[in-house]
Structures are given as structure tokens and as C-alpha cells.
Structure 1
Amino acid sequence: MTATSTPSSELTATGVPRAGGAGTIGGRTVSRIGYGAMQLERLHRDRHAAIALLRRAVELGVDHVDTAQFYGDGFVNSLIRDAFRPEDGVVVVSKIGADPNPGGTVPLRPAQRPEELRASVEDNLRTLGLGQIPVVNLRRLDDEVRLRAEGDQVVDLDDQLAVMTALRDEGKIGAIGLSGVTLDGLRQALPAGIACVQNLYSLVSRGDEEMLRLCADQQIAWVPFLPLGGAFPGRPKVTDNPAVTAAARSLGCTPAQVGLAWLLRHTPNTLLIPGTADIGHLEQNIAAGMIELDDATSGALDALGSRPM
């Protein structure tokens, strides 16, 4: 019997198989299942537990982490700085376009002006302890309901891309991403060189299918947030859908794992950043990368996209 070895591209810098297999973002090879760090704010009183969760993610093959300075006003970034070592090879992706708004009805305020974008990158560099952030997503507020850009916060995308490009040229960011962008906005931004798009998308919320196809054609990473739906009133939850729960029973896994596994299968340029503050839940999310959906199950789930949600 001939022994087989895992290709180096499928392994993290620590020699662990990449969670969900290998994908790319900003010219870097990363795990297709990453970690979205927003929920670490919930562990504000237990820094040890938060760092232990991040270390467990590395052990499980995660080397792609999504964060923002406005997650806990730098608290989450400081956890990432302390938890990861250079030899872990973790690619950190951050986002800008909003600032903390302590005590406000909405805990964030828009920060869309070019000088605010630059200041946000500098804040991220400081709290992450990095000389360069590999990818920075510009969070647009065009379609936001709770956090809308008004007055001098309504800024032309080209003006924002100009400062993002300058920051890339200066070496402070490695690549430019977009979050909450419209299809027309993405088309407008393509000449600037876009590494990833981070929009709301899930098995049961597929309004951006045309944008996803454009990203696949342009080799742009597609990084859905709220990959299991829900979170806001009126948003459908993947885990509540009868077809999803039926698939989970058949496969012997959780409905959440079905939703994540479907996203990985749907397009090869998809990277996932499910978030949690619980190690057991983290392990379940990463295990979704091992679930194989047969053709019949995939067909039933695919068909949900043609039904009213």
C-alpha cells in the first residue's frame, strides 16, 4: 500500500489540516472555515477563556480570523494580538467604516469619511500589534437599516477607494475588501483590485446570488456574514427551515452544520467566518467542513433558493 500525504497547501503553518480545506483571500492561502471574532465581546470578563478559544481554533486548523477595532472598542483586537503567535500563520482580516458609540441606541456610529477610514486603520494596527493588516474590508452603509450614513457621512465610493489604495501602497494594508456593498458598487470598485466581499448571505437569504457569481468569475473571496441567518427580526433562520432540519436528521449532524456545509459546497470561493464564544460550538462549526452532502440532499437545499423566503 502506498502512503499518501496531505499537500502542503492543505496544511496550516502549524502542520494541521486547514479547517474546511484551503481557500484564498488577498493572495494568501487560508482555511475555508475561519473564525468571526465579534462574539468574543461576550467574554469581556474572562480574558483567559477568550484566549483559550482562539488557541483552540488554531489547533483545529483555523488560520483566517475576522475582527474589527469596533468590536469591544479594541478589546477583541487585543485578544487576537495576545492569542496568536507569528508561527501560527493566522491571516487577520479587519473592517473599517464605523466607530464605537458607547451608550448610544446603536453601539456604533458611521465613520465613512476618508480621514476616518485612515484613522481606523491606524487604530487597528495599534491594537492588533501588526505592521500590516493582510486584508481590510471597507464597510459601506448603503443598505443598512440600523446604521445609516447621513450628512457628511455620505461619501462617494471612489473617494473611499482612493484612501484605501493609498493605505495599500503605503504597506499598511495588504489587500482591500468590501462589506455591505451593492452589485453596482462592486462593479465600480473592481479596477481598484478587490480581494473579498463580505455581505449578508445564507442558504435561506440569497439575494446576492448575482454578486456571488461575479465574485467567482473575478476570483474574489466571498465571505458571508450571518451565514446561518437570523440575528435581526424578520430574518429567516437556516436552522428553522424544515428542509435543513430534515437533512440534519438524515446526516446525523446539526442544522447549523448543514447550513455551513451547503455554503462551502455552493461555490469554491466561499470562506466562512462563523462566530461563537463557546469552544464546543466552535468545534461543531469546524466539523461542518467534514460533512459531505449527497446529490439528493444538495438538490433539496439548492431548491430553497427558488422559493419565497
Structure 2
Amino acid sequence: MNDRSPSPPATTFRIGGRRPVRRLGFGAMHLPTTPGPDRERGLAVARHAVRLGVNLIDTAHLYGWGENESLLAEALHPYPDDLLIATKVGVAPPSPGREADLDGRPEFLRAQVEEGLRRLRLERIELLQLHRVDPKVPLADQVGALAEARERGEIAHLGLSEVTVAQLAEAREITGIATVQNRYSVLDREYEDVVDACQAAGIGFLPWRPVHPATVAAGEVQAVAAELGATAAQVALAWLLRRSPVMLPIPGTGSVAHLEENVAAGELTLSDEQFDRLDGIARP
């Protein structure tokens, strides 16, 4: 049985044990960045997220090859004091004769950190995550390069994405790790052991794709949603918040209405019985 937080779950978490954020964040990946009405809509959604009280926003160099970071800066800079924008590095854009690919070379990671600082208009990135572990480069070199950036004052906290328990343990032997961002949801439990490892260590866990596409068709999720007068997506997010006190869901959307629906999930309380029914859907 998983070690679960008491009901209702806490609404905040401290990144790296220091930086407080609301546990229900926002993933900016789906914000449109092309000039015109779509971009204006993307700017509006980002601003509305902050108005709703969201103070953890996730982006990455990969999202539009920097355009997503630039959009957030245009929408939100100068940033509220309590807003934490997390970004990710380690994927190289396509070039003539080459497809996009992982690149964990220290010099490449250093360059992407510098580009992220410029695009986000920051002197320090509060949470910088390695987007993927590059199998061609020793993990110690990748994590070490980012730890050096932290020592230079370019980042405050360091995170990893799509890692195993063994990789997390190896990285923690090199330096402190504040967060892990892996795919996880009520219907997708491949990284159940990573969630448990993060909880044991007090490391924030940011589940990407927190609402599995099949969630709306899952009978048990729909049943609980009907009992609570909520949507299936809200139930899926409420389950995550209850699953572990280190869980920091970052649902993404390009719609104001959908954003409001997601944020409202933070007010949803599952009973022990409802949580257990959902917990049993896809247990490994």
C-alpha cells in the first residue's frame, strides 16, 4: 500500500525545502506562440493562470525552441515575487541533415541555460530541469554541468525529467536534486517507484500528462466525478494531489475555460473510499 497523505492534502510545497509554491501548477507547453490572435490567446491564458493564484509554471527550451519561454516573459514580466517558472534543457533543435535529439554535453547545457536566462529575462532560473538523460554522455557530466550553473548563481534549484530510481540516486550522489518530472497519472503508473522515492526524500514530483487521454472514458473515474459533481479531469488531478504530498501536477491547456476547470480541481476533496477505488484502477 502506498504511503498517502492525510485528507485533505496540503495545498503548498517547498521546492528544494525552501521555495513555496501552490501544488497545482500550470504546464505552458500548449500555449500558442505564432503571431496573431492565437498568440494573444496564449498570452491571455498565461496571465489568467497567475490571476487564479498559480505560481508554478513549467516550460522548456524544446517547446517551440525557446518561443514558449519568450511568450511567458512577454506575458508575465516583470514577474510576481512568488511566481516560479521552471524550464528544461538538454534537447537540440533540428538542423540541416539532423533531427532533434538529446544533447547532454556540458557545453551545450551551459549554452541553453544562458539562452533560457535571456529569453525569460531572468538573472536566475528558479528551477532548471534536465529534460532527458542523454545516454551518450555520462550522467555525472550532465548533472555536474548544471550543478556548476547553480554554483555560478544562474539557477536556484536543479531537477531531472524521465528518470528511474537508479538514475535519481546516482544524480543525488553528485548534487542536491529538488524535483523530478516524469509521466504519471491515475491511469499511468509506470513510475510508481519514482514517486515513492521522491516522497521519501522530500523531492517534488511534477507529473507530466497528469490527465491521461483515456481518463474521460474510465468508468471508475466517471463514477467518482458524478458523485462529486466534477469532471473526470478534475477527479484525476484531485487523485494526484492526494497520492503524495510531494506531487505537483502541471496540467496544460491553451483555453481559459479549461484552465479554470483545472485550477478548481485543487478544491476537490476525495473521500478515502473514493481515493482507494481510483488507486486500484491501474496499480502495477
TM-score scaled to structure 2, two decimals?
A: 0.90
What letter corresponds to residue 148 of structure 2 in structure 1?
Answer: A
**What CA distance in whole angstroms lies between the structure 2 residues aligned with 1:105 and 1:119?**
19
**What CA distance in whole angstroms lies between the structure 1 residues aligned with 2:122 and 2:158?**
17
Residue equivalent to 2:23: 32
Matched, 1:23 2:5: no
Where does the alignment leave 5 or more consecutive residues of structure 2 unmatched? 1-9
Matched, 1:127 2:126: no
> CA offsets per residue over residues 222-263 of structure 1, 9 Å max, x none?
110011124xxxxxx222211101111111111011100000
**What CA distance in whole angstroms lies between the structure 1 residues aligned with 2:97 and 2:261?**
34
SS in structure 1 at match of 2:216: helix
Residue correspondence of structure 1 range 298-309 to structure 2 within 5 A: 298-306=275-283
> CA offsets per residue over residues 74-106 of structure 1, 9 Å max, x none?
221112112223335310100011033279997
Report the alpha carbon displacement of residue 40 of structure 1 after superposing the two structures with TM.
0.9
SS in structure 2 at match of 1:134: strand
**What CA distance in whole angstroms lies between the structure 1 residues aligned with 2:19 and 2:279?**
30
Which of 58, 79, 84 is the equivalent residue of 1:91? 84
**What CA distance in whole angstroms lies between the structure 2 residues aligned with 1:102 and 1:73?**
12
**What CA distance in whole angstroms lies between the structure 2 residues aligned with 1:210 and 1:251?**
29
Residue equivalent to 2:256: 279
SS in structure 2 at match of 1:174: strand
User: Structure 1 residues 44 and 179 mapped into 2: Cα distance closer, same or farther (>3 Å)?
Assistant: farther
Conserved 8 A contact 1:63-1:88 = no
Q: Of the two structures, which has the highest relative contact order with CA contacts closer than 8 Å and spacing of 6 or more?
A: 2
Residue equivalent to 1:9: none
**What CA distance in whole angstroms lies between the structure 1 residues aligned with 2:158 and 2:79?**
22
Conserved 8 A contact 1:196-1:221 = yes
Which of 113, 122, 143 is the equivalent residue of 1:161? 143
**What CA distance in whole angstroms lies between the structure 2 residues aligned with 1:210 and 1:41?**
34
SS in structure 2 at match of 1:87: coil
Residue equivalent to 1:170: 152
**What CA distance in whole angstroms lies between the structure 2 residues aligned with 1:204 and 1:104?**
38
SS in structure 1 at match of 2:124: coil
Residue equivalent to 2:220: 243
SS in structure 2 at match of 1:211: helix
SS in structure 2 at match of 1:40: coil
Report the alpha carbon displacement of residue 125 of structure 1 after superposing the two structures with TM.
0.7
What letter corresponds to residue 156 of structure 2 in structure 1?
Answer: G
Q: Which runs of 4+ in 1 moved over 3 A?
A: 41-45, 102-106
Residue equivalent to 1:3: none
**What CA distance in whole angstroms lies between the structure 1 residues aligned with 2:106 and 2:217?**
41
What letter corresponds to residue 98 of structure 1 in structure 2?
Answer: V
Report the alpha carbon displacement of residue 139 of structure 1 after superposing the two structures with TM.
1.9
Conserved 8 A contact 1:202-1:238 = no
Residue equivalent to 1:65: 57
**What CA distance in whole angstroms lies between the structure 1 residues aligned with 2:120 and 2:84?**
12
Tell me the C-alpha RMSD between the 2 structures.
2.0
Residue equivalent to 1:117: 109
Matched, 1:189 2:180: no
> CA offsets per residue over residues 92-132 of structure 1, 9 Å max, x none?
100011033279997x3222211111111111111111011
Report the alpha carbon displacement of residue 43 of structure 1 after superposing the two structures with TM.
5.7
Deviates more, 1:165-174 or 1:77-86: 77-86
**What CA distance in whole angstroms lies between the structure 2 residues aligned with 1:105 and 1:296?**
52
